[in-house]
Amino acid sequence: MKHFIILTILFLSTLINSCDTITGKKDTDKNPTQQAAIALVSNQINSSSPTSVSTINFNVVSGNTNVSCAGTLSGTIAGTTGATLNDLRFYVHDVKLISTDGTKSDFLITTDGKWQLGAGSNSFGSYSGVALLDFEDATNGCSGGTTETNKSIIGTSAVGNYVGVEFKIGVPFYLNHLSTSTATSPLNNIAMYWAWNSGYKFAKIEFTATSKNQFHLGSGSCSGNTTGPINECGLPNRPTISLTKATGFNATRDVITLDLNALFSGSDASSTGINICMTGNATTACQPIISNIGIVPSTGATTTQSAFSIR
């Protein structure tokens, strides 16, 4: 199709130039019909073709450098330099693709028996698909983790012209307050779990600077959930991350990127450390991190975030 459009432009250009030679008119004298014809086919070339999306890739950086368990983290992390990574995992769910007109289409996460659980329902209610992203590999400072990593989510989508991606950090409410002993992957990972009432650690990011620092994001102010997801917690802490790109979202090229420099901006681990943020909404040292990931500390609701981008 694109070859046909190119040939059409060449034909129109030749035809118009021939007419100009015969009539002696300059390029500025082209009539509106000629100009409209060229604009039409040019726009068809420049506009992106509708596509479906089957994979969305993620990455974690420190500034402009990929993060790993080897060596030190680049740039400044919470006011420190030379920090080493200890753990880095987080859940995502309710993933959507944003169209050029602003409408959103579901990206349906598929079940793979390891990293992803597709949408479904249980005795408490219906839930969206959820995936665990894991950037640690159990080497060096990440010795307490797992050797396998997962840096993408797999699923299906409708065909469309997409300019961005939206997702929530965390585990859906109707899956959050269950037992890991009976849960299926990726919710049977005890390293990402607190207890029945509070549920899962939505994100687990740990590093060592002057001391060990732990950012564990999850729901707070929970009650009455010791036998399942009965009451939504007072601090849900499931930020909605909405990212768009002016030139369009290309799933084969673009990567959803978390920047640790940006995430920990405003926090200070240079002396005593931020220590443990679980969940940290009311802790002064943790509030900048909570805000940067897109959460209002006092309510647990979504606000503007500064940690994620499309790169």
- Are residues 136 and 275 located together in one domain of the fold? yes
51 is a domain residue: no
d(CA 297, CA 16): 63
Number of domains in the chain: 2
Note whether 153 and 208 are same-domain residues: yes
Domain assignment of residue 226, yes or no: yes
Mean confidence (pLDDT) of the chain: 87
Residues 68 and 164 in one domain: yes
pLDDT value of residue 177:
95
In a domain, 287, yes or no: yes
- Asked if residues 91 and 132 have their Cβ atoms less than 8 Å apart, the reply is yes
What separation in angstroms does the CA of 199 have from each of 175, 176, 195, 220, 303?
Answer: 9, 5, 5, 9, 22
Q: Per the domain annotation, does 182 fall within a domain?
A: yes
| Mean pLDDT confidence for 218-231 | 93
Full domain range(s) for residue 19: 2-46
* pLDDT score of 32: 53
What are the tokens at 229?
């997801």
- Alpha carbons 301 and 309: distance in angstroms, whole number: 20
Better pLDDT: 300 or 275: 300
Pair 39, 69 in one domain:
no
- pLDDT for position 37: 44
Residues 30 and 135 in one domain: no
Q: Are 151 and 145 in contact (CB under 8 A)?
A: no
Under the banding of pLDDT at 50, 70 and 90, the label for residue 8 is very low
Residue 204, CA distances (Å) to 88, 98, 105 in order: 6, 27, 28
Residue 30 and residue 63 in one domain? no
Residue 150 belongs to a domain: yes
Whether residue 214 lies inside any domain: the answer is yes
Evaluate if residue 45 carries a pLDDT over 50.
no
The predicted structure's pLDDT at residue 279:
85
Q: Is residue 178 part of a domain?
A: yes
